[in-house]
Chains A and B, each alone.
Chain A
Amino acid sequence: MSVAIKANRLTPYMFLAPAGIILVFALLYPIGYMVYASFLDWSPSQRIGQAEFIGFRNYVNLWNDDAFRESFWVTIRFAAIVVTLEMILGVGLALLLDRKLKGMAVLRTVFILPMMIAPIVVGLMWRYMYHPTVGIFNRTLKSFGFEGIPWLSDSTWSFIAIVIADVWQWTPFIFILALAAMQSLPRSALEAAEIDGANEWQKIFMIKLPLMMPVLIVTLLLRLIDAFKVLEVILVLTNGGPGLSTEILALRIFRTAQEFQELGEAAAMSNLLLMLLMALTIGMFLYNRVQEARAARQRAAAEKDDT
C-alpha cells in the first residue's frame, strides 16, 4: 500500500481527532471522575486524593436508604405522569393547530413562551399562584365560594402542583416538534387517504401518527431525560416537601452534596440516575430500530408485490 493511500485512509481519522480529544476530556474524564468518586467517602473539605476508598459502600447505603428509595419512586412517577400528559397535550395541540388560520404565527409564538422562561422564574411564579391566601387559584376558588386547596402543604396536592407547573412549561416543546414533524409529512399519503375516503380520525391514527413516530420517539426520549433531571422548578416550589413527597432524585443529589456534604454518595446517586437514563435511551433506540426494520420489511414486501 502506497504512502499516499495510507495517508488518504488516515485523513478522516485526523479530522475526527480534535473532536475525539475534546470528547475524552470534556465528557469521559468528568464521567470517569464521578464514577471513581462514587467509591469514596468524600467530604467537600477534603481533596479527592484524601478521601477514603470504600468500594461499593455508598451503593449499599443507598439500597438501604428509605429516603432514597422514596425519592427514586417519586422521580419515576413524576417522569411517567408529566411525559404522558405532555405528549398527549402537545401532539393534540399540534393536530389542532396544523392548519392555515389567521394569526397562526403569533399564536404559535405565544404557545412556546413558557419554554423560554428561566426555570427559577417559573418556580417563583407558580409558587405565588399557589399561595394559600394571595395566590390566584385559591382566590378564584374562594370567590366562587369553594374551599381553598392546600396546594403546597399537602403531599398529594403538592405533587399535582409540580406536575401542573412542569406540564405548563414543557408541553410547548412537544407541540413545536410535533408540529414540525406534521408539516413535513408527505402530502401524497394524506391525499391518497382522502381519495380512499378516510375520515379525520382515521387520517390521524393510521397516517399522521405512524409517520410522525420516529420524531415523536426522539421527542419523548428528550423529555423523559429532562423530566428525570428537573431540579430548579421543584427546588423553588416545594424544596422536596411536604415530607419527601416531591423530592425527586436530582433534588436529593443536590441536597446530598450541598447539605449532607457527602460527595461520594451524591456521585453514586448520579451514577444510578445516569444508568437509568442510559437504559431508557438504549431501550428507546432499540425500539426505534426494530420499528424501522419492520417498516423497511413492509416496504420491501410492498415493492415486491407491485412488481
Chain B
Amino acid sequence: MLKYLKTTVCAVAGLALGATAALANPYEEFAGETLVVNFPAHPHFDAVMKVLPEFTKETGIRVEVDQLQYLKMRERQTLELTKNRGDYDLIAYVVFSKADYVYADQLENLARFFMNPKLADPNYEAEDLIDGYVANIGVAGGKKGYLPGPTGSLFGLPFGSETSILGYRKDIFDKHDLKVPETYEELLELVCLIPELEPGMGGLASRAASGHHASHAFLLHLAPLGGRIFDDEWKPIVNNAEGVQAAEALKKIVNCGAEGSKTFGFAEAGASFLQGNSAMFLDSTVFAGQVNNPDKSKVVGLVEWAPHPVGVRAGSQTGGFGIGIPKNAQNKDAAFLLMQWLTSKKADKLIAMAGGNPSRYSTHADADVNEKFPHMATFGEALKNADPDWRPIIPVWGKINADLGTTLSKIITEDAPVQESLDGVAERTQALMDDAGYYTWTQ
C-alpha cells in the first residue's frame, strides 16, 4: 500500500513538475516557428540584428529579417498590408505611418495580447518604457486621434525611437569660455557669436533643405518656443507669434550656419558637424553613434551633449520607429512574443550595448550602458521632456509638411516675408483640413 502511495505521490509530483516546466517556458508552443519581420536599414536595427540570434537561442523561434531602406520599407508595407494574407508577422514603422495604418485598420490592437496570460510577461514593466515614445509611436485613438487619452489604445511599441539633443564642441566652448545654452535666448545668441569667434565655423548645423528637412528643423524650435501647428479645434495656428518666432529662429540659425547650410539635409548638417565646420548640432539622438567613429568623424572625443534648450517650455522631438503586428500576419502570437522580448528590459540593454537606441528609462540609467556610452544619462534626462505632440500625426500631414517645408525654404533662401508666408501656409492648411473633414463637427 505504502509502495502504491509512494508511486502515486511520485507520479503526481512528476506531473506537477512537468506542468511547471511547461509553464516555465512560454515559448515552447512556438519553438520551431519562423517569423518574417520587416525592419529598416538604420543604425538601431543594425544593432538589433546582432541581438536577434539570442532570441532564437532562448525561444527556438526563428526570425527572418527583410531589411529595407526606410522609404522603400513604407512602399513595401503599403502593398503587404493590403493583401489578404501578409508575409510579415512584425513590422517596424515610422511614426507618420501610425496614422495611416491604424486608420486603415491594418495594425493589431495590442490589448488582446497583453490580456493573454500565456503570452504577456508579468515582469514586462511597461511603465519603464519612455512615456513620450509610447504616446507618440504606440497609442492612437485618444486625444486628437493620435495621442493618448481615455479613448486611446495601443497599436505598437517604441523601438528605435529618437529624440532631439544638443551636441556641442567642448574644445571650442572651453577655448572661448562659452556657456552651454540652456535656453533659446542663449542658443540664438551663441549661433551668431561663434562664427565671429571662430571665422569659417558655423554656429549650429541645422537642416534647411526645401521640404521635409526645413519643416523638421522649424518644428524642433516651434514646440519649445510655445507654438503648435493646430489649436484644439484643428484651426491652424502656425502663423501666430510663436510660429513666426520659430521661423525667425530657424532663419537666424541657418544664416549664421556653415557655408551652404541653406540646402543642408540631415546628412549634410551631420557631416558639417562631424567635419568640424559647425560648433553645435541640434537634431536626432540617432546621430550620436557616429560622433566618435574615426571613419566618419574628425571630432572624435571633442563632443559633449546637453538637453534640447528650453523656450517657454521644454519640448524635444519624438520620432523614429515603432513595431507592430499587421492585421494580416500569419503568426501573431509568436510575433507578439518577439515584440515583447525585443522591448524587454534585457533586450533593450543588449541592443543599447550593440549601439541601438534604447526605449526604456532603466536602460538610459544603466551603469554598463553609461560606461560604454557616457552620453546615455543625458539622453535619459532629455527624454523626460520628449513631446509626443511636437507635430500632428494625421493622414494629411504629409501634404501640410511639404507645403510648410517649401514655404520655409523660400523664407530662408529668398527672404520671403515670414508672417505673410506662414499666413499662406495656415490658409492652405485650413482648406486641406476642411476637405479632409476635420471641421465636420465644428461648422
Specify which of A61, A243, A259 is in contact with B409 (CB 8 Å cutoff): A243
Specify which of B212, B260, B410 is in contact with A131 (CB 8 Å cutoff): B260
- Which single residue of chain B is at the shortest CB-CB distance from A154? B413
Pair A43/B100 contact, Cβ less than 8 Å: yes
Q: Mark B383-409, 1 if CB is under 8 A from A, else 0.
A: 000000000000100110111001101
Q: Quick check: which of B48-56, B101-109, B162-170, B181-189 contacts chain A, the rest being far away?
A: B101-109
Inter-chain contacts of B229 with A (CB < 8 A): none
Inter-chain contacts of B209 with A (CB < 8 A): 239, 241
- Cβ of B344 within 8 Å of any chain A Cβ, yes or no, is no
Chain A proximity of B244: nearest CB distance (Å)? 18
- Cβ of B8 within 8 Å of any chain A Cβ, yes or no, is no
Pair A262/B100 contact, Cβ less than 8 Å: no
Q: How far is the CA of A150 from the CA of B401 in the complex (A)?
A: 25
Q: How far is the CA of A242 from the CA of B406 in the complex (A)?
A: 7
Given contacts A45-B81, A133-B260, contact A242 B210 (CB under 8 A): yes
Pair B211/A153 contact, Cβ less than 8 Å: no
Q: How far is the CA of A124 from the CA of B413 in the complex (A)?
A: 22
Specify which of B402, B412, B416 is in contact with A255 (CB 8 Å cutoff): B402
Q: Which of A150, A154, A242, A262 counts the most B-chain CB atoms under 10 A from its CB?
A: A242
Q: How far is the CA of A131 from the CA of B264 in the complex (A)?
A: 11
- Cβ of B316 within 8 Å of any chain A Cβ, yes or no, is no
Pair A243/B398 contact, Cβ less than 8 Å: no
The SS class assigned to the A binding surface is loop
Inter-chain contacts of B428 with A (CB < 8 A): 66
- Cβ of B293 within 8 Å of any chain A Cβ, yes or no, is no
Specify which of B103, B259, B260, B263 is in contact with A45 (CB 8 Å cutoff): B103
Inter-chain contacts of A47 with B (CB < 8 A): 82
Pair A153/B398 contact, Cβ less than 8 Å: no
Q: Mark B233-262, 1 if CB is under 8 A from A, else 0.
A: 000000000000000000000000001101
Given contacts A45-B100, A45-B106, contact A259 B212 (CB under 8 A): yes
Q: How far is the CA of A198 from the CA of B413 in the complex (A)?
A: 54
Q: Which of B103, B406, B410, B414 counts the most A-chain CB atoms under 10 A from its CB?
A: B406
- Cβ of A240 within 8 Å of any chain B Cβ, yes or no, is yes
Q: How far is the CA of A261 from the CA of B78 in the complex (A)?
A: 10
Given contacts A45-B106, A152-B263, A261-B398, contact A239 B210 (CB under 8 A): yes
Specify which of B75, B81, B210, B259 is in contact with A243 (CB 8 Å cutoff): B210
Inter-chain contacts of A238 with B (CB < 8 A): 210, 263
Chain B proximity of A251: nearest CB distance (Å)? 10
- Cβ of A260 within 8 Å of any chain B Cβ, yes or no, is yes
- Cβ of B16 within 8 Å of any chain A Cβ, yes or no, is no
Inter-chain contacts of B399 with A (CB < 8 A): 259-260, 262
Q: How far is the CA of A154 from the CA of B412 in the complex (A)?
A: 10
Inter-chain contacts of B260 with A (CB < 8 A): 131-133, 152-153
- Cβ of A140 within 8 Å of any chain B Cβ, yes or no, is no
Q: Mark A154-195, 1 if CB is under 8 A from B, else 0.
A: 110000000000000000000000000000000000000000
Pair B398/A242 contact, Cβ less than 8 Å: no
Pair B211/A239 contact, Cβ less than 8 Å: yes
- Cβ of B312 within 8 Å of any chain A Cβ, yes or no, is no
- Cβ of A44 within 8 Å of any chain B Cβ, yes or no, is yes
Q: Which of B101, B211, B403, B407 counts the most A-chain CB atoms under 10 A from its CB?
A: B211
Inter-chain contacts of B259 with A (CB < 8 A): 132-133, 148
Q: Mark A57-75, 1 if CB is under 8 A from B, else 0.
A: 0000100001100000000
Pair B402/A153 contact, Cβ less than 8 Å: no
Inter-chain contacts of A43 with B (CB < 8 A): 100, 104, 395
Q: Top 5 closest A-B pairs, CB basis? A: A241-B210, A132-B260, A45-B104, A153-B262, A242-B413
List A residues at the B interface (Cβ < 8 Å).
Answer: 43-47, 61, 66-67, 131-133, 148, 150, 152-155, 238-244, 247, 255, 258-262
